[in-house]
Amino acid sequence: MKKYDTIIIGAGPAGLTAGIYLARAKRSVLIIDSGSAGGQMILTHKIANYPGVLDISGYELANNMKKQAKSFGCKILSSSDITKLDIAGKEKFIQVDGEDDFSADSVIIATGGEPRSLGLDSEKKFKGKGISYCATCDGDFFQDKDIVVIGGGNSALEEAVSLTKYASSVTIVHQFDHFQGYEHAIREAQDHPKIKIILESDVEEFIGDESLTSVRIKSNKDGSTQDLNVTGGFIFIGYIPRTSVFKDILDINNRGEILVDSDLKTNVKGVFAAGDVIEKKVRQVTTAVSDGSVAALGVIDFLNSH
């Protein structure tokens, strides 16, 4: 069994930042992620508000963070599933892929979230057959096609604009009478010649045979419906924290977010949490990076007094 000073679960911006801080402090660090290092950041077409970095893609920024973490000595296991977890005791034990066992004196949970779905049966049917949750991943499949974007926050607005590079038209459908994004994001979407907006409406059904051919939109004002001919549907209605595996160990609120104190300590000694997985109001790459820094410094203090 290989032992580390700290095991970080999750390789998004919070986890990678924590790894950078800890490894630079000469602590041995293992970072485990079920997907690719970078988290939701790699799905973002463009990041234009990261201080000191002018116009970079989420994938590029994630790759830079990964390289930096590895350069300081972090061991990173990508596409690895945790099959056993025991972090309640003084020594923390984690098994990966049913065969590799690791232990550590401390753990940082930075598992982030996953895209929230509409919960429609027809959504499941056309997932990967016209329905996507990632404009960066799938946008180029819809060159010169008509598509719909569902959502009204910053992600929906920004990704709708990015999809105009490929699509003939983009229709944003949002359930409320106003958007929840920043003013500049709202204005950019409203002013774009390829974007149409339908407010106070929900997507009731996705329609098609082998692949998506239209969506049925229902007005929340009068209950009327209309079918919109599209071959792509992109859903951006938020994220669900990945915390189910911790629900019997850590204090978690009714939204599935881990409760932490100002030092990002959880209710279990030696276990910290950071990024989109914790109870917080603002979720940005910059806030995740901040959390990763705070959690790492907290772990360093913990290890020094351990």
User: Is 138 a known active-site residue?
Assistant: yes
CA atoms of 164 and 146, how far apart (whole Å): 10
Residue 107 burial (C-beta neighbours within 10 Å; 0-12, 13-18, 19+): buried
Output the CA torsion 104→105→106→111 (10° steps). 20
User: Is 74 a known active-site residue?
Assistant: no
Instruction: Find the catalytic residue in 100, 101, 134, 202.
Output: 134
Residue 220's CB is within 10 A of a number of other CB atoms, namely 12
CA atoms of 120 and 23, how far apart (whole Å): 44
Strands 232-235 and 146-150, how do they pair? parallel
Coil vs helix vs strand at 47? strand
CA atoms of 21 and 297, how far apart (whole Å): 7
CA atoms of 248 and 243, how far apart (whole Å): 10
CA atoms of 48 and 294, how far apart (whole Å): 24
Instruction: Find the catalytic residue in 81, 86, 97, 137.
Output: 137
Instruction: Find the catalytic residue in 5, 33, 105, 138.
Output: 138
Give the orientation angle of helix 13-24 with respect to helix 285-304, to 10 degrees. 40
DSSP element (H, E) containing 157 = helix 154-163
Strands 113-115 and 239-241, how do they pair? antiparallel
Write out the two tokens for 20.
């950078």
Residue 255's CB is within 10 A of a number of other CB atoms, namely 9
Write out the catalytic residue numbers.
Answer: 134, 137-138
